[in-house]
Amino acid sequence: MKKLLSISVFLVMMAIATGASAQSKEFKAAKSLDIQLSILRELSMLYVDSVDVQKLVRKGIDAMLESLDPYTVYIPEDDEESLELLTTGSYGGIGALIKKDGKSIIISEQYENSPAAKNGLVAGDTIMMVDGLSTESMKVDDVSAKMKGKPGTTVKFIVNKLKGPAGVELAIARERIHFSDVEYSGMIGDTTGYIRISGFTLGGAKDVRKALMDLKATGKLKRVVIDLRGNGGGILDEAVEVVSLFVPKGTMVVYSKGKLPQMDMKYYTKEEPVDLKIPLAVLVNSSSASSSEIVAGALQDLDRATIIGTRTFGKGLVQSIRDVGYNDKIKLTTAKYYIPSGRCVQAIDYSHRNPDGSVGYIPDSLTKAFKTVNKGRTVYDGGGVTPDVAMKQEQYSRAAVSLVYNDILHTYSVKYYKEHNSIDSPEKFVLTDAEYEDFVSFAAGREFDHRTATEVEFDQLLSLAKKEGLYDGIKDKIDSLEKSVKLSKSEVLRKNKGEIKSLLEEEICNRYYYQKGRIASIIRNDDVLQAAANAVFVN
């Protein structure tokens, strides 16, 4: 009896403690919110300068969410268009990118078959007025907002044409601009099909299915390369549907585990496959994240594809979009996902990542081994998907990166487009030596950081030598070394001609053949893709 009484007392005490704990938690939250409101009230009434309370609250919300993880974010009503683009790959507008050049707003790119392209807008055209307003004092975001809007409505421009007269009046009807998840598809060589997938937006898997069916219809297809490099992810269901193209219907692709039971879900393929036997390779790199890691990891775990490239980003978190009132939303992390072997691709911690944000070094002691479903091959967790065939990720020179960052390649491509009515197809177009020398002369007169990595290290050595009082004693040696490592802009451009020339050719092809032309140009010099085309695929 005493024992039963003791147990009863214990259970009552536990219930009281649990209730008290819950009440304490709720009280602390309410207290914090009350204090925050009081602080905002005091600032609004008494702060010496005017206070934008809404701006303060937004900063507070952003800082609060940032402390959790990089993917939990607040989405106010005025960012709804960005959310639509993220989830559907679509928005209402004219289909053009713009940039600021001095005081001018310039078209930097127009999309194929867009209202902008149909109305003759090209990169290099200058927008003087939009809907009756001069653009001279407008910001890029302000002009961009004017260009976007409900499909079927009209926006008016006055434009100075790159290849034509000034003061041209245009009235362009906005349309629903959609970016297909399939950036490019076609045959690489005689028998290898290639599909490049840029994201996973609503309905995007149907684009992939169509691309695969079109390749099969050639009658030449003997193996397929799926390119997920640079693919940052998207809608989970679309990723599952892409996997369904190659595995039996009803295959479990991924499952999620969250704080609440309703967040625990298993995702199975629902569609009939297109081909269960064709050899398949998937290309990945450190920018392949989230849903693209599900595709690559699931196909690896199911022993259905050879994964080629570098370890993926390491984002194994599921985000849900929730309403928070007043048409505002929050995208928050609600679960982790696990691929068929049982491993999670989420990086072990956020703090030890590479400069590009991808998974950093992971000690073997922190990783756990898993087995693939069909062949029992060993795979590991710890962050990202480790490829079956490792390839070195391409590293561009400092000069090449600086040329891109400072828009010099783009600016020269516009100049080239103005001076040449047409070029060869992207698969064949190459700059002559004389044309590259023209670019060297053009770029040498522009501002960009042309220092080599060696020169950067030398500058640091020189600074340190002066700081420690060693410079005077080794001045002659330093001066001699400086002459060897410091190159002029022209010398650097010629030294790195191979990679810079390829990047420039890609940019020029984009002017004439849009984004597909750029990718077709990239393919010619893509060592990883060429290696994949010759790899031994899993089938």
Answer yes or no: are the C-beta atoms of 192 and 183 closer than 8 Å: no
For the sheet containing 182-188, what is the strand order? 182-188, 192-197, 223-227, 280-284, 306-309, 389-390
Q: What is the Cα–Cα distance from 123 to 411, expressed in whole angstroms?
A: 9
Please identify which of the residues 146, 315, 329, 489 carries the catalytic annotation. 315
Count of CB atoms situated within 10 Å of the CB of 524: 16
Distances (CA, A) of 514 to 44, 123, 129, 517: 51, 11, 25, 5
Q: What are phi and psi of 289, to 5 degrees?
A: -135, 160
Closest CA to 189 of 526, 538, 539: 526
Contacts of residue 227, defined as CB under 8 A and 6 or more positions apart, other chains included, come to 194, 195, 196, 197, 282, 283, 529
Q: Tell me, what amino acid is at 23?
A: Q
User: Each residue of 55-82: b (16+ CB within 10 Å) or e?
Assistant: eeeeeebeeebeeeeeebbbbeeeeeee
Count of CB atoms situated within 10 Å of the CB of 175: 19
Q: Which two tokens stand for residue 286?
A: 């450190």
Please identify which of the residues 185, 290, 341, 358 carries the catalytic annotation. 290
Q: What is the Cα–Cα distance from 423 to 508, expressed in whole angstroms?
A: 9
Question: Is 20 buried (19+), middle (13-18) or exposed (0-12) by CB count in 10 A?
Answer: exposed
Q: What is the Cα–Cα distance from 126 to 121, expressed in whole angstroms?
A: 9
Q: Is 290 a catalytic residue?
A: yes
Please identify which of the residues 181, 301, 381, 526 carries the catalytic annotation. 301
Q: Is 516 a catalytic residue?
A: no
Q: Which two tokens stand for residue 437?
A: 């020398």
Cα dihedral 331, 334, 340, 343 sign: positive
- CA dihedral 73→77→78→79, nearest 10 degrees, is 30
Q: Is 301 a catalytic residue?
A: yes
Answer yes or no: are the C-beta atoms of 158 and 151 closer than 8 Å: no
Q: Cα 189 to the chain's mean position, in Å?
A: 28
Q: Cα 334 to the chain's mean position, in Å?
A: 22
Ordered DSSP codes for 144-195: HHHH--STT-EEEEEEE-TTS-SSEEEEEE-EEEE--SEEEEEEETTTEEEE
Distances (CA, A) of 382 to 259, 316, 361, 362, 441: 21, 10, 10, 7, 49
R_g of the chain computed on alpha carbons:
28
User: Which residues are marked as active site?
Assistant: 290, 301, 315
